[in-house]
């Protein structure tokens, strides 16, 4: 009732604030109302939609969404692989069946991210994650070489050094038989890795360095999730009256200024080293191997040829930072949690690592990482059960006919890996941790859109090879040194689908040193 009252109070003011956006929203709602009658979904009321039913607790809200999808996609007589959800007066359609997901994600004309990314844009700008149209196409083409194998291999030393520091910090907690939440350790490790590979700057958050920036990035993610979940916060008066708006603006300024400062420093360093000159210069493979440039270095060398401003550089660096730390720490946390619950599979991972390294304490090299076949299966299986990014949004750029429903232009479509990732028709043991789902034979026999933790199609994650390499290196350090036991069974903890999937209470483990 309170939310309903707030909406009624703010509605006239909203019309004055952004009449163009309101007009667009209501045009979509008007055009979508009739066709959406064919799609099942939870009961909605005028103006507030289904929001009045939303659970306030994040865990309960996640479970509620899951129950709605399970019922309306598998039980309801109208089931059709889609679920409608009215967020206030704004319609959203969630797509569940792989063939429908393929239609959207493979399309070259349905590339625009949905409006729920607008809040992210206020932080990272119009970078690769949220841009669309010609700008996105040019940036994607420009940035693809920055994730080429020859560049990624130069980040290996950073993965290795930060992974070694991660297990060194955890060693203080080993053999105490006490519960340890490893999530803060993983987040600091991932933050150190992404900061050094993206900006060439050692953050050293694992040893207490630059915690202001680290904490700001973490808090921004929390605020964005609140904004995306509650439509009443979309209205500026409520956004700022809640004080979240002011906090968000302050943290955005802090993080953006940090990146701008690093850009200026890296430019000066490259000029002093004679790498950045008046002439356009593209690094040869030998130079890349010798100099080990970070992502920002490559952008600075592309700047003149691609007519990029310093703000363009900041957008892409902040995008890399935003996408690259929370997702990998979440993925590593869930993989550790599941392996801590399945000791047989953990033993297989350790047997594989023992075969590669023996009793040696040496650092893993690229050849070692390629041999971590079973560990990679375990990471992929944990991403099936717990995809780091639980939702992907698209705004239809033209009318689309799907399952006999005419979906109108500008309608928001939400795609979650959860439905196909857990569908019994695609997986031998859908609710179990079973790494052999990812043998070559099993993977080749599956629907190509039954598994897409890094999204898919033209807008798939450009950094997925980077992420997988990082996760393999860091987790190889962990399971070479320790045996872990999960305190709570998966998925017993409070898992919440924020921007990135995570447990509210962390990844609680008991850690024991291995004795070879």
- Side-chain-side CA neighbours of 515 within 13 Å: the count stands at 3
Say if residues 183 and 500 touch (Cβ distance below 8 Å): no
Q: What is the dihedral of CA 103, 418, 49, 229, to 10 degrees?
A: -110
- How do beta strands 412-415 and 392-395 pair? antiparallel
Q: Is 162 marked as binding a ligand?
A: no
Residue 472: how many other CB atoms lie within 10 Å = 22
Residue 247: how many other CB atoms lie within 10 Å = 14
Query: Distance (Å, rounded) from C-alpha 67 to C-alpha 103?
Result: 25
Element counts in the chain: helices (H) and strands (E): 21, 11
Identify the three-state secondary structure at position 197.
helix
Identify the three-state secondary structure at position 337.
helix
Sign of the dihedral defined by the CA atoms of residues 241, 242, 248, 251, in that order: positive
Query: Distance (Å, rounded) from C-alpha 486 to C-alpha 508?
Result: 6
Q: Is 127 exposed, middle or buried (0-12, 13-18, 19+ CB in 10 A)?
A: buried
- How do beta strands 400-402 and 482-486 pair? unpaired
Query: Distance (Å, rounded) from C-alpha 210 to C-alpha 218?
Result: 13
Query: Distance (Å, rounded) from C-alpha 289 to C-alpha 457?
Result: 30
Q: At what angle do helices 19-36 and 2-17 cross, to 10 degrees?
A: 130
Residue 16: how many other CB atoms lie within 10 Å = 8
**Cis omega (within 30 of 0) for bond into 342:** no
- How do beta strands 412-415 and 90-95 pair? parallel
Query: Residues marked as binding for heme?
Result: 461
Binding residues: 461
């Amino acid at each position: 009732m309170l939310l309903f009252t707030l909406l009624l109070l703010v509605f006239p003011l909203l019309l004055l604030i952004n009449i163009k956006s309101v007009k667009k929203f209501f045009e979509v709602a008007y055009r979508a109302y009739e066709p959406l009658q064919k799609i099942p979904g939870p009961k909605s009321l005028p103006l507030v939609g289904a929001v009045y039913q939303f659970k306030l607790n994040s865990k309960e809200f996640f479970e509620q969404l899951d129950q709605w999808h399970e019922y309306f996609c598998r039980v309801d007589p109208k089931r059709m692989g889609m679920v409608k959800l009215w967020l206030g007066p704004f319609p959203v359609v969630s797509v569940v069946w792989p063939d429908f997901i393929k239609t959207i994600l493979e399309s070259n004309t349905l590339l625009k991210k949905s409006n729920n990314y607008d809040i992210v844009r206020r932080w990272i700008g119009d970078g690769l994650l949220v841009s669309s149209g010609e700008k996105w196409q040019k940036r994607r083409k420009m940035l693809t070489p920055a994730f080429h194998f020859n560049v990624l291999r130069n980040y290996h030393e950073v993965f290795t050094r930060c992974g070694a520091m991660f297990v060194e910090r955890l060693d203080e907690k080993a053999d105490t038989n006490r519960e340890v939440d490893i999530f803060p350790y993983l987040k600091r490790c991932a933050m150190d890795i992404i900061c050094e590979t993206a900006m060439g700057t050692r953050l050293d958050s694992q040893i207490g360095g630059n915690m202001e920036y680290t904490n700001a990035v973490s808090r921004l993610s929390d605020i964005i999730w609140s904004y995306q979940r509650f439509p009443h916060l979309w209205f500026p008066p409520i956004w700022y009256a809640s004080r979240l708006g002011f906090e968000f603006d302050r943290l955005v300024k802090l993080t953006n200024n940090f990146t701008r400062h690093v850009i200026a420093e890296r430019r000066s360093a490259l000029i002093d080293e004679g790498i950045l000159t008046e002439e356009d210069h593209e690094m040869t493979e030998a130079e890349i191997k010798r100099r080990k440039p970070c992502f920002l270095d490559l952008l600075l060398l592309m700047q003149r040829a691609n007519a990029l401003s310093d703000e363009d550089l900041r957008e892409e660096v902040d995008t890399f930072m935003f996408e690259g730390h929370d997702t990998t720490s979440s993925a590593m946390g869930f993989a550790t949690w599941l392996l801590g619950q399945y000791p047989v599979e953990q033993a297989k991972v350790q047997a594989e690592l023992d075969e590669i390294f023996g009793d040696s304490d040496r650092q893993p090299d690229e050849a070692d990482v390629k041999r971590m076949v079973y560990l990679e299966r375990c990471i992929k299986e944990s991403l099936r059960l717990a995809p780091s990014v639980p939702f992907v949004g698209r705004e239809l750029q033209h009318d689309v006919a799907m399952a006999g429903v005419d979906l109108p232009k500008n309608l928001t479509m939400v795609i979650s890996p959860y439905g196909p990732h857990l569908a019994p028709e695609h997986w031998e043991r859908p609710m179990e941790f079973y790494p052999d789902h990812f043998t070559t034979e099993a993977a080749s026999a599956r629907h190509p859109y039954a598994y897409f933790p890094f999204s898919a199609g033209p807008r798939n994650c450009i950094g997925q090879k980077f992420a997988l390499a990082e996760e393999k290196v860091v987790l190889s350090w962990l399971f070479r040194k320790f045996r872990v036991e999960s305190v709570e069974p998966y998925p017993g903890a409070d898992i919440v689908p924020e921007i990135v999937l995570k447990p509210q209470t962390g990844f609680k483990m008991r850690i024991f040193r291995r004795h070879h």
